[in-house]
Structure 1
Amino acid sequence: MGLTGSALREWVDAERVIERDLRVQVRNEQRERIELEERRLQAEQRVLQLKPKLQEQATS
């Protein structure tokens, strides 16, 4: 026989909390990956901007 009444309700509530916490964790991990990718792209863009200046200085 399975859970019934208040025991079932408590179990369902606990499962909902677990699922909610997992969704929050996934969203946070996605946000961190996006932020890291944005920083990587910014650094790459900065390198591309500085490269011609460095080449110009090297030839001067």
Structure 2
Amino acid sequence: MSAGDSPLSPREADVLALAPVDEIAQRVSLSRGTVRNYLAAAVAKLGTANRHEAARIAAEKGWI
């Protein structure tokens, strides 16, 4: 995946850049389930095994 345009939506990037699900939900005023859905979408779009790997890749590419 190139470092060009991010495949992540703005909200996916927001939740990927933050900490635990409970904290994310509070900070961005979303339910825990919605946060998990955004994280799952980001992980799928980036083709990673988990959100930590997705966050690392997104950070390396300057998307978050």
Using structure 2 for the length normalisation, give the TM-score.
0.28
Q: Which has the higher contact order (CA 8 A, sep 6+)?
A: 2
